[in-house]
Amino acid sequence: MCLTTRNAIYSFEYMYRTIHMCVRKIILRIFQLFQIHQKRLIVHANTEFPTTTTSHRLPLAPLLAFAMTGFIAILTETLPAGLLPAIAQGLGVSQVMAGQLVSIYALGSLLAAIPLTVLTSGWRRKKVLLLAVGTFVVFNTITTVSTSYSLTLAARFMSGVAAGLAWGILAGYARRLVPADLQGRALAIAMVGIPIALSLGTPAGAWLGSIMGWRVSFGLMAALAVILFIWTLMVVPDLPGQQAERRLPVWNVFMMPGVRPILAVIFLWMTAHNILYTFIGPFLALSGLTERVGLILLVFGLTALVGIWITGTLVDRHLRKLVLLSLAALATVSVVLAAGMREQIVVMLAVIVWGWSFGGASTQMQTAAADAAGNHVDVVQAMVTTAWNLAIASGGVVGGVLLTHAGAASFPWALMVFIAVAFLIAYIAKTHAFRPGARNQ
């Protein structure tokens, strides 16, 4: 290895240690920051369900329960990816067949999100959340003990259904617990489980599975879901569902001003992200970083935590600016990677910016969608879930086609196209979708 490359790697490892220390401090302080005192009585922002409370703090216990729900949903989805050889051997199938355990989960989430959200829109919110968490308990347990590929496949599909139901209500549930000027912060806490699962949970689960067996990892997921079920039962306040006469058909919600541009931005943004994320291994091979994929993904996840912290701090006042800045940052990453994809230090720095820009994406998009939909937040969040899962599938398909026919070097150019269109839509859609100014104005 040449001296320049060795120095670049040493510099990157030093930056990684520095970032790790900073992020650790941020995690310790993140919930303190969100516990902002208010000088007035908190009045529930959703006029359809008016409630009041004398609390002067964000309700951290239920918000952290939502975060743990997201953590379990993401980790349940991604865990098989790091354990494919062991799962394939345990179930007596090929690794390609074992890989379908990830795809079938996404399919369950995609198919269930909108129908189940509409079906349960009149149910009390706690009942719906407990149903989703209980489903995770049952089907992660089945996955743990199953020796049949078909049964495991069915269990994974049902776990995906649970995820689709959970994603459809979490954002609206979190927002309804706080006044309008704290909804963005509440949502940031509720969504913090996503980057934690991606950056820490998935590698840890894969490591544990490699040592103790893949069934142990899924067994721990079932145990976590049991703890979450009890936690939710004890600390999450119950809220009513939506009255039948106030519900709009799904098509009417889809046609509401601002909803379609937001869904378009989600699809384009996440397609671009998943082209690179899904095939990060082949892309890193261009710069000789194949052996450091785990480290680079860890740095990506840690900087994503920084991104969600920044978003949680600013989203209630600067939602539009955050969205445009995040898209511009990813566009810059694509340009930098196109020019320097074979230089290790360039790739490493680009990953840091990429992780930061992705970290706040979920909170930003769900906040914008909820603002646009008003009282129909649960239905629009199910649409967000559907668009997100379609983008994951789209990114995999587009990335696979590009890798086969043009090579991994084509990825940054594809990112430029998708992000440029997403930025243009977000920039134009400032009347209803990505409005300037503070959200509570």
7: in domain: no
Identify whether 233 is part of a domain.
yes
Q: pLDDT by residue (tens digit) across 96-147?
A: 677 778 778 888 888 888 888 888 888 888 889 999 999 999 999 999 999 8
CATH number at residue 235: 1.20.1250.20
Q: What pLDDT is attached to residue 242?
A: 67
pLDDT for 34: 38
Whether 24 is in a domain gets the answer no
Residues 93 and 236 occupy one common structural domain: yes
Specify if 126 maps to a domain.
Answer: yes
DSSP 270-327: HHHHHHHHHTHHHHHHTTT-GGGHHHHHHHHHHHHHHHHHHHHHHHHHHHHHHHHHHH
- Shared domain check, 359 and 215: no
In a domain, 312, yes or no: yes
pTM: 0.72
The two three-digit tokens of residue 133, written as one number: 């968490």
User: What is the three-state SS of 224-275?
Assistant: HHHHHHHHHHHHCCCCCCCCHHHCCCHHHHHCCCCHHHHHHHHHHHHHHHHH
Q: According to the model, what pLDDT value does residue 69 have?
A: 94
351/215 same-domain check: no
Task: State how beta strands 42-43 and 52-53 pair.
Answer: antiparallel
Residue 46 lies in a domain: no
Contacts with 205 (C-beta within 8 Å, 6 or more apart), sequence order = 75, 79, 82, 83, 217, 220, 221
11 belongs to a structural domain: no
Asked if residue 37 is part of any domain, the answer here is no
Domain count, the chain: 2
Give the domain-ending residue among 209, 228, 247. 247
Low-confidence ranges of the chain (pLDDT < 50): 5, 8-9, 12, 16, 19-20, 23, 26-28, 30-54, 245, 441
Identify the bridge partners of residue 53 per DSSP, sorted by sequence position: 42
The dihedral region occupied by 288, where left means phi > 0, alpha psi between -120 and 50, and beta the remainder, is left
Last residue of a domain, one of 247, 264, 289: 247
Say what the pLDDT of residue 266 is: 92
- CA dist 403 and 362 (Å) reads 27
- In this structure, are 286 and 153 located in the same domain? no
Domain, as residue range, for 69: 59-247
